[in-house]
Structure 1
Amino acid sequence: MKNKYVEFISDEHLLNCISNLHKSYVKAKEKISKKKLYSNKVDTIKLTFDSKFNNLNQEKIIEAEILRQVDKSINNSIGTFHEEVLGGISGYEKGNLSGFDIKANDDTLFADIKNKHNTMNSSSAEALFQKLARYADDYKKAKCYWVQILAKNSFSEHWVGDINGKEYSHSRVFKISGDQFYSLLTGREKALYELYKALPIAIDDFLITAKTDKQNNDNSAISEIKEGIENSERTILDQITFENYSYYLGFDEL
């Protein structure tokens, strides 16, 4: 039977990957309580500019700030989504806290996946190269890849460079963009594009069948802040400013 979404993994596997990512979104939103929102201090001066310059009401601005915090916590989950998708391709498997993200079943390929090209500092890059080189040394037929799902260009090349003042190169250590890696594992030149085009359909299908409790999916920060407003009669932005900076000179007058 022909797959509905993409040819290189089963419909069931893709829907399961989407389901796991959805759980991460739900969990991330549930975590944004008022205490969590305030944990790093809210920049209410910036939010004032955001509100005025973008012509948005204060509640919309706070909702956007909460979504920004959700987005920060979800980035790693997007990388995991790609690992799960790629691990569903015949002949490959996803690593489970085993030092690699993706490997070939016959040990001819090992890969470490980063969702974006700029997520590592020099020390992290050095540690990653050394790890991939060890896999290449231990498995003489293996090619080892640093995968950048969202890269600046489409490429597949030897990873050669100067990292922390040391020259690094290995005949079987490579860096590769997301589109080229999907193509490599699937044998389909446009595999990542095919996934991109299929995702809206697959997500809609998942959401139709997903059983979610909306009340539990919503963060509690806005409702907690509004409870304080009922007594103080402040604007929502003034309430947040007071609760974050009432110890600053003059701010206790809000």
Structure 2
Amino acid sequence: MENKYVNFISDEHLLNCIATLYKSYVKAKSNVSKKNFYSNKVDTIKLIFDAKFNEINEESLIQTEILRQIDKSINNSIGTFHEQILGGIKGYEIGNLSGFDIRATDDSLFADIKNKHNTMNSSSSEALFQKLAGYADTYKKAKCYWVQILAKNSFLELWSGEINGKEYSHSRVYKISGDRFYSLLSGQEDALFQLYTALPIAINDFLNLINDEETSHENSALSEIKSEIEISKRSIIDQITFENYSYYLGFNEL
């Protein structure tokens, strides 16, 4: 039976990957209570500038700030989504905390996947190179890859250069962009593009499969704050400032 979504993994596998990511979104949204929203202290002075200079009303501004917090917690889950997708290609599997993200079942390939190209400092880059080189030395026929899903260019090249003042190179350690890695594992040049174009359809199909109760989880931070201002008669920003900084001199008068 022909696949509906992409040619390199089953429809069932794609929907399962979407379901896993959906659960991460639900968890992230439900975790943004007022207590969690305040946990790192809200910069309400910045919020004043944001509201005035960007011409955003206070409620929309706070909703945007809440979404930003949700987005931070989702970023790692997006990387996991790609690992799970790629692990569904025949001949490959995910690492499940084994030190690698993707490996070929015949040990001919090991990969570490980063969603964005700029997520590592020099120390983590050095550690990653050493880890990949270790796999290459242990498995003599293996090629090892640092995968950048969202890279600045489309590329596949040997990873060599200076990291922390030391020269690093290995004949079987590579850097590769997301499109090239999807192509490498699937054998289909446009595999990542297939996924991109299929996702809106597959996500809609997934959402139609789950019931309304499962889609109703929302963060409570804004509603909790709005309940407070009905009593205090403060503005939203003043309420947040009071609850975060009432111990500062003068702020208890808000």
- Short-chain TM bin: over 0.9
- Of 74-83 and 56-65, more deviation after overlay is shown by 56-65
Where do residues 197-236 of structure 1 align in structure 2 (5 Å cutoff)?
197-213=197-213, 217-236=217-236
Q: Which residue of structure 2 lines up, in the alignment, with residue 39 of structure 1?
A: 39
Q: Which residue of structure 2 lines up, in the alignment, with residue 104 of structure 1?
A: 104
Corresponding position: 1:4 with 2:4: yes
Taking a change above 3 Å as real, the CA distance of residues 79 and 215 of structure 1, as seen in their structure-2 partners, is closer
Q: Which residue of structure 2 lines up, in the alignment, with residue 80 of structure 1?
A: 80
The alignment partner of 2:118 has SS state of coil
Taking a change above 3 Å as real, the CA distance of residues 152 and 180 of structure 1, as seen in their structure-2 partners, is same
- Of 178-187 and 221-230, more deviation after overlay is shown by 221-230
CA contact (8 A) 1:30 1:216 kept: no
Structure 2: how far apart are the matches of 1:215 and 1:142?
A: 43
The alignment partner of 1:170 has SS state of coil
- Of 225-234 and 12-21, more deviation after overlay is shown by 225-234
Q: Which residue of structure 1 lines up, in the alignment, with residue 253 of structure 2?
A: 253
Q: Which residue of structure 1 lines up, in the alignment, with residue 65 of structure 2?
A: 65
The alignment partner of 2:77 has SS state of helix
Which runs of 5 or more structure 1 residues have no equivalent in the other structure?
none
Q: Which residue of structure 2 lines up, in the alignment, with residue 152 of structure 1?
A: 152
- Of 208-217 and 149-158, more deviation after overlay is shown by 208-217
Percent identity between matched residues is 76
Corresponding position: 1:162 with 2:142: no
**Alpha-carbon shift at residue 39 of structure 1 (Å):** 1.0
The alignment partner of 1:112 has SS state of strand
Taking a change above 3 Å as real, the CA distance of residues 65 and 214 of structure 1, as seen in their structure-2 partners, is farther
Structure 2: how far apart are the matches of 1:214 and 1:134?
A: 44
Which runs of 5 or more structure 2 residues have no equivalent in the other structure?
none
**Alpha-carbon shift at residue 169 of structure 1 (Å):** 0.4
Structure 2: how far apart are the matches of 1:215 and 1:171?
A: 49
**Alpha-carbon shift at residue 224 of structure 1 (Å):** 1.5
Matched positions, count = 254
**Alpha-carbon shift at residue 251 of structure 1 (Å):** 1.4
**Alpha-carbon shift at residue 216 of structure 1 (Å):** 5.4
Taking a change above 3 Å as real, the CA distance of residues 250 and 215 of structure 1, as seen in their structure-2 partners, is farther
Structure 2: how far apart are the matches of 1:81 and 1:134?
A: 26
**Alpha-carbon shift at residue 7 of structure 1 (Å):** 0.2
Letter in 2 for 1:33: S
Runs of 4+ in 1 over 4 A off after TM superposition: none
Q: Which residue of structure 1 lines up, in the alignment, with residue 174 of structure 2?
A: 174
The alignment partner of 2:103 has SS state of strand
Structure 2: how far apart are the matches of 1:100 and 1:155?
A: 21
- Of 239-248 and 210-219, more deviation after overlay is shown by 210-219
**Alpha-carbon shift at residue 226 of structure 1 (Å):** 1.7
CA-to-aligned-CA distance 1:209-242 (integer Å, 9 cap, x gap)? 1235368511111122122212211011110011
Structure 2: how far apart are the matches of 1:20 and 1:33?
A: 22
Where do residues 49-60 of structure 1 align in structure 2 (5 Å cutoff)?
49-60=49-60
Letter in 1 for 2:159: W
Q: With structure 1 as the length reference, what TM-score do the two structures score?
A: 0.97
**Alpha-carbon shift at residue 53 of structure 1 (Å):** 2.2
